[in-house]
A = this chain, B = another copy of it.
Amino acid sequence: MAGGSSQPGRSVTSKILAILSAFETTRRSLNLTEISKSADLPLSTTHRLVGELVDAGILSRTGNGGVQLGLRLWAIAQNTGRQLRDTARPFVQDLFSLTGETSQLAIRDGNMALYIDRVYGTRRVARVSRVGGRLPLHATAVGKAILAFSEDWVMDAYLAQPMEPMTAHTRSNPVQLRNELNRAKHNGYAITREEVRLGTCSIAVPVYHTGRLGCSIGLVIPTSHAANMERHLPVLYGISKRIEAATSHIPLETLLGIISGPDMNVPESEG
């Protein structure tokens, strides 16, 4: 190839992924040069690949010479984990209607809580989590619920790795966190108080599937009226039970679309 170099060991597939990943964090449109830097590809290669992806509808050009993710990609990706989202959504809506608080559904994706659905009002509120976004398991209520109610090896593996604090209130000490998770396990629910972001608290409960934890649902509540968050527990438990009933006939795998990426892997033999 030109210059004979061609950065060996990189498959075309990995290059395409690198280009898509450039859009994983930002919601802006990017120009060629930015993509080429972010994907660490020569400009001419980026140019050609982006051109192909645009033709395919995976990416699309904006007016001012930028590039962003295309609707075709979005439409294809909508089929991922559709069963869980389609089934659970009305219940998450109910949760919002009954509490008036931002309602969320999350699953575990490796070491992160992946937000699958989110229902909120028109009132403008500071927004950290977003559908498709991830937050560390130890900082969020839905995450703590996932840790507390999964099989023991999940909590053990998670506590063994370093944990970044997000605010001054975030529990990042393994011993302290283990205590809190055990308490959550005993109580049947998890809470956070300004551990993701100052000004908001949250409360979450697990949703089971065939006896194991499937996902978790929770509320995000401004600190100003989070004094007695536990008043929402009856509703949370009720919705959890209803999601459990509505999803029980669907195998867990097709529900979640299987956890992806670098994983806290399931031990080879059963734990």
Contact = CB atoms under 8 A, between A and B. Distances in A.
A60 B255 CA distance: 13
Contacts of A17: 56, 58
Contacts of A270: none
Interface size range on A against B: 35 or more
Contact of A109 (B11, B53, B71): B71
A158 interface: no
A185 interface: no
A260 B59 CA distance: 8
Given A13-B16, A122-B90, A122-B91, A79 B24 contact: yes
Contact of A80 (B56, B70, B260): B70
B259 A83 contact: no
A134 interface: yes
A230 to B, nearest CB: 26
A68 interface: yes
Contact of A13 (B49, B60, B83): B49
Contact of A77 (B12, B21, B69): B69
Nearest to A120: B90
Contacts of A23: 76, 79
A71 B62 contact: no
B24 A75 contact: yes
Contact of A254 (B62, B77, B114): B62
Contacts of A132: 74-79
A241 interface: no
12 contacts: A12-B12, A12-B13, A13-B56, A23-B79, A24-B75, A27-B79, A60-B257, A60-B259, A69-B77, A69-B257, A90-B122, A91-B122
Interface of A: 11-14, 16-17, 20-21, 23-24, 26-27, 29, 49, 52-53, 56-58, 60-63, 68-83, 86, 89-91, 93-94, 96-97, 109, 114, 119-122, 130-134, 242, 246, 253-254, 256-261
Given A17-B58, A71-B114, 12 more contacts: A12-B13, A16-B16, A23-B79, A24-B76, A69-B257, A70-B260, A74-B78, A74-B132, A75-B114, A75-B132, A77-B132, A93-B96
